[in-house]
Structures are given as C-alpha cells and as structure tokens.
Structure 1
Amino acid sequence: MTALFTPLTLRGTTFANRAWTSPMCMYACEDRTGRVTAWHRAHYAQFALGGAGLVVTEATAVLPEGRVTPQDAGLWNDSQTAAWATVTEAVHAVGGKIAVQLAHAGRKGGKYRGLPGDAHRNRSVPVEEGGWSTLGASDEPFGDYAPPRSATGDELDQVVRAFAASARRAVEAGFDAIELHGAHGYLLHELLSPVTNRREDDWGGGGRERLLVAAAAAVRVAIGDEVPLLVRVSAEDVAPGGLDAHDTARLARRLREVGVDLVDCSSGGLVAGADYSEEPGYQVPGAAVVRTEGGVPTAAVGRITDAWQAEQVLRDGSADAVMIGRAMLRDPHWARHAAAELDAPGAPVEPRYYRAWRGTVLDGLTVPTPV
C-alpha cells in the first residue's frame, strides 16, 4: 500500500486517500451576492470525480466585508447555504468529500480580482464601484491597498461569532469538514503575527493568538464533536521579525487543545513584497516541524506536482496529507494518474472510465481490456 493512497481518518470521517485539492480562490460569483453557481458545482465535482481524497473550497467569507474581492463566495446567509448545498451534493454524488475554507480577508479585502483581461490588479475597489471599508489589526495598509480601519474589541468578537455561524451553515450545507483560513495575511493571521499586530489591548502582545484560537474554539462548539476541523496557517511569516515554524508548532498545540484536527501548512502572504523562492516542496519543511513539535497531523502544500514527490513527503513523515493546487487545476484527474504511476491498489476509481484505465490496477483488480 502506498502512503498517498492509504486512508486517513479524522474524528468520524475517513478520507479515501491523502491527495487533497488545495483551496484556491476563484472569484467566480459574478453577481456579487456571494452565492455559488452551476460553475462551482462543475468545478468542485471534477476533482472528486478525478479521485481527490478531499476537495477544499476557495476562501469563503464569513461576513460581506470579509471577502477578498466582490466576486468571492460567502456563507454569511441562508441563501448562500442553499447554494453551497448543491455543490456538496454534486461532490457526494460522485463519491467525494468536501471541506469549506472559511475566511475573513481583513485588510487584504475589497480588492480587484486581477484575472486575465481585468483592468486592475492588487488595488482596492473604490466604494462607488462596490468596494468597502476593510478591517485590520491597525490602520496600516497592505501594500498599495486602501488603509483599513483598526478593529475594535467588539468587532473582533463579532468576527469570532461570524466564523461560528458560518460553520453551522456549512454543516447544514453538507460539508464533510471545515477549514479556517489563518494564513496569508488575512485577518486571523494579521492578528497573530507580531509584524502586523502591535496592539496594546487584550488582542495584542500576549493575546495575539486570541482571535484565531477563539475562532477555532467557537467553530468546534458550533459543528459538534464529529466534524473534522482544519486550520490553514502560514507556518513561516516570511517577514523580518515574523513567526517561524517553531512558533507555529507551539500555536498548533493550542489549536489541538481546542479541537483542531489538522494544521494545513502554507507560508507567507503577510506583507507586500516579501521575497522567497518557490522551489518544489518549499513549504514541506514547515509542515514537518509543526507535525513533529506540535504533535498534530499536518498537510503540506506548495509546488507538490508529481506522484512520487507527494509519496515521499508522506513516507518521510513530513505531513499526513498533501494539498495539490495548480497541478490539479491543470489535471483534475491528478489523483488517478498518481495512483496509476504508483501502482496503488485500492485507489479511488470511477468504473465508467474503465476504457481509459484498462490494464492498470484499480480497487485491487486489474481492469480488463474490453474485447
């Protein structure tokens, strides 16, 4: 049995393999209501049909002002819950499992989406064009974005309640797991790092972890004891004076105590203009430190592109799952191709596709060549 295609159980949920679809922003809610559409159903179902053990959605805002762009998906109202239910149904119909990534963009919110052909990139959308006043640890902007408003304690308490409410809606919508976005300079990360949080109230100094830990604890209560809870972190801030993987490992221990089951280790995104090299597997060492020192399962992400590379990450004990992003966008059947390359019995299959896989081992049986 390969490591990549060994099942992984978190709480009461078993994932068929450890090749997971990484959360990737899509900015595809064109009507700006935060409601997902038929496009999202097709988008996420393709990864499940392609054999991914878990599909994690794009960052999904817990409040309207928590969106990265006006075209972001949301889970702050019931109409969005109903729309997401059609997506989870599509994924489940082809045998997959799906998690929602809940997020608040903080000072990095309200920007133009910057897709090919768009006129603007990495700039804030003016209020008259559908933008909004953003919320941050302070009034210091991210790069050339509009300055945020320094959040009050009451507003941060509201953010915690919003994460819990959105998590309840996610369970109602049929999601199999919940992930909190505590990375990439978004609000939970912005409050966490000493680089961006120099507050002198209860949310700063020794209370920098308060927002993320409180959100995780509130979400655990909201979703009950059976649903797996993941947190994405920037294991390394990639900023002078910022957090490193050893700091994140200490944080992971606190997250484990409030009911977090797996820490999804990315890096960076905190400050504009950070310089780091994205070589293959560049974030795996951070996941390994968090796993070893934090005593919590981890996922590794970042330029993991081929089957044997992913297999080695798991065999080395650097992580418990791998998040595949751009490689799965290029090939939604990445997991099936990886199973064939690793000659992995028990890999997830779609029997109706047998013509494409004849002569390979699927589900422990060799698919016959049709006469």
Structure 2
Amino acid sequence: MPETRPARMAVPIPKERSRGCPFDPPAALRDLREEDPVCPVTLADGSSGWLLTRHEDVHDVLGDYQRFSSRGELRNSALDGQVTAARQAKPGEINGVDPPEHTRLRRKLGGKFTTSRMTQLTDSITDIVDDVLNVMEQLTGPVDLVQVFALPVPSLVICELMGVDYAEREVFQEKTTNMLALSATPEQYMAALDDIYSYVNDLVVRKRARPTDDILSNLAADEELTEEEVSRMGLALLAAGHETTAHMLALGTFALLQNPDQLAALRADPALITGAVEELLRYLTIAQYGAERSATEDVEVGGRLIKRGDVVVPALMAANRDPRRFDQPDALDITRRTAGHMAFGFGIHQCVGQQLARVELKIAYQALIRRFPNLRLAVPPEQVPLRTDSVTYGLVALPVIWD
C-alpha cells in the first residue's frame, strides 16, 4: 500500500547551491532523492505540494498528461482547501493547458521549429556568431562573456526569427528577467508578466498592420488565432528564445573551462560537439524546476499517494543527476550517452524550441573555442557571480581573457 501521510514536515524547495561546485544542483536535492524522493514541500504562495527528485518519477509524471494536468485551476490550495479558478491559463498560454487545446496551439508552433527547418538556419546562425566574435576579437580583456557573446548571439537569432528590432533587445531582456525572478511576490510576477505582455501585444498589432517574413507575422496572419493568443505565444517564444540559450552558452563555457580535459577533447575532435551539447544540457539543467502539475485523480508516485488536486513539482536538475539513470552523473563527460535527459522537459510540453537551441549551442561553442584557443577565466572561479534568483540558472557575468 502506498504511504498516505507525509514522511516528514513540508519544507521549502531547496535552492541553495554550493560555491564549491556551482554546476551542481543544491545538495539538499541529492539528499532528498535518496531519502525522500517524493517529498512534501511548501510552494512559493504558501500552499503545499510534492517535490519529485528521481528520474523515473519525473519522467512518469511529465509523460502522463491525463493524470497530471498543466491546468492550474485544477490545483487544490492548501490555504483555503478549495479549487481556485484564479490560476486558469489565459488564451495562448500553451504551457497552462491540456489537449485538445494544447494540441491546437502546439500545431501552430511545431512546424516552425522542426529539426530540418532549424538545420536550414545553420548558415545565418553561423554568420551571426561570427559577427559577434569579430567584435569580441577587437576588445582587450578582461571582458564579460555574458554581455559580449552569450546574450548577443541568441538575442540576435530570436530577433531575426521573430521579426523584432534588435535595438529593442534590452527592453525584452529586462522584462524577461523581472518576470522570471524567483524572489518576486505573486503580485510582482503578475505585474512583470503584464508588462512584457503589453510589449509583445504592441509588436503583434504592428505585425498585423505591416507583416514581414518572420514567425510573429506568420502567427499574426493566422485567422484561427486571436490577437491575445498570438501575443501570449509570442511572449513565450521571445522570452525563452534568448534567456535559456544565453545562460547555457555562458554557464557551459564556464563548465568547459573548469573541466580542461573535456575542453581539450572537444578541441581535438570537433565531431564530439553534438554529444558535448547534450551532456552540457544534462549536466547543467538550467531550468531550476519543471513546471507544476496537478493530479486529476488519486495516483501513486514513488510509493506515495498523491491526492486529486495535489501539486507536484518535478526537479529536472535532480532527475538529470540521478545515478539510477546516468553512471557517475556528477561528472562532466562529453562522450557519455545522454539519451533520456530532461533538460528540455518531457512529454507533450517538452520545449518547442529545443532544436533551435541545439543548433545555436553547437555553432556557438565550436566557433568560440576555435577562435579563442587560449580563452580562460580572468578571475578565480569562486569569484564568478552566479545568477540564482531566476527560474533559469546561470551567470551574472563571466570575466575572461585570452592571448
């Protein structure tokens, strides 16, 4: 019989990382994965839920959209014991709905981010990366790799794809940062979300009036989508399209510099880049936690009984370091088989832009280490500032020098 009572009191979701190894998840997650893998936790709004830390449990929950829904309004609130409609997804918020609505919206995006279509963008992304590195090459160190390389590359790519003026990049970067801050209160989060929505909605209005050849114009021209749906979908693409890739580029470079044997292997054999990208995605897992799910019925997970309406939070970074799934998971090994990693999530809500991210990362990492063979940290590694107060983990800055 599954346990029906918590094995321990609910605790806040662990967030504290070690300065000793900034690439590792919080140590408390490792302990929970071994001692209490389906653990009662206190969520940001004061309600309670369950934190999942084993690969198998995270995989099963994310893959079971029928019993674990993305619809926030199905969630029980421990504050009042009632199901609330306040968390109902707004039109176009694809990650907050289930099929058939999710299927309808996903079809509108899926064809724009296929592997073949992203491969076709290789030349233009290569040109963007080369242009950014040309500028960087003219600078004298130390320079902040976040500002001169990691942010510009995905920002330029997503601006080109979405048809957004690159001059506006600082506007949507700042708005995205505010929206993703973990320290934000619910009121601050909603204010930041409304702010970036207004910005994207204005873009959509302009695209409908003067369309160009880009993803946002194509969505805006779709008569089956409302203006709000296009704006919400555009918001998600614009925010995720630069935020996650930028932090992967910076943190991944930091990780390679701290693992010189792996960097040397990649320099010696550029064909290792595909596996290297997948391993960096697994090893770093910058999405701090997976999106919440609500149980639609009583269901057993990892020997615990999850009640209908209970919230579960998949800890992707803990799952991707599970020794039951990956041998010596805390080591960076660019030659390992990484099949099954969940850096992009899993199931029907798996990141729609993952193929774009893969292409960008492969091109950018390869070009950087080829053009700057003597790239190294300009400060001791413990002085590299970490970006922990965000849904996406990363670096505030990465000071580097080269000869």
Q: Which has the higher contact order (CA 8 A, sep 6+)?
A: 2
Task: Answer 1 or 2: which has greater strand percent.
Answer: 1
Task: Answer 1 or 2: which has greater helix percent.
Answer: 2
